Amino acid sequence: MVAFPDGGESSYWHDRDSGNWDAYLMKEVIPQVAERFGIDSSRIAIGGISMGGFGALDLAMHHRGRFCAAGGHSPALFTSGGESAQGHLMMPGTSPRTT
């Protein structure tokens, strides 16, 4: 069984101002899929592509032991979820971009 929730344009899947995406996946999507399809909850893996890869790795990091495996294909890697939600990274010694 594979589930692909659609997070729209900003699907990093961590809790932030625009929504409690981590909680949504952990408390709603995964339990509903497991119940509906009779999934063994000890054999749930998580993965994603690009932003979803970051989200999968971030969820696995914040919910250690919950997944039997985690992976990302070309994940967008950031040191924290807050950096990804801003849409840019600040390198040491630089100032934020203005628009």
Q: Which pLDDT tens digit goes with each residue over 20-43?
A: 888 889 999 999 999 999 999 889
CB-based contact 31:38 (threshold 8 Å): no
* Residue 9 counted as domain residue: no
Give 69's strand partners: 45
CB-based contact 51:84 (threshold 8 Å): yes
Question: Tokens 């040191």 appear where?
Answer: 79
Domain that holds residue 24: 15-81
Question: Tokens 């495996």 appear where?
Answer: 69
pLDDT tens for residues 48-77?
A: 888 888 888 889 999 999 999 999 998 877
* Residue 6 counted as domain residue: no
* Residue 73 counted as domain residue: yes
Count of structural domains within the chain: 1
Whether the model pTM is above 0.85: no
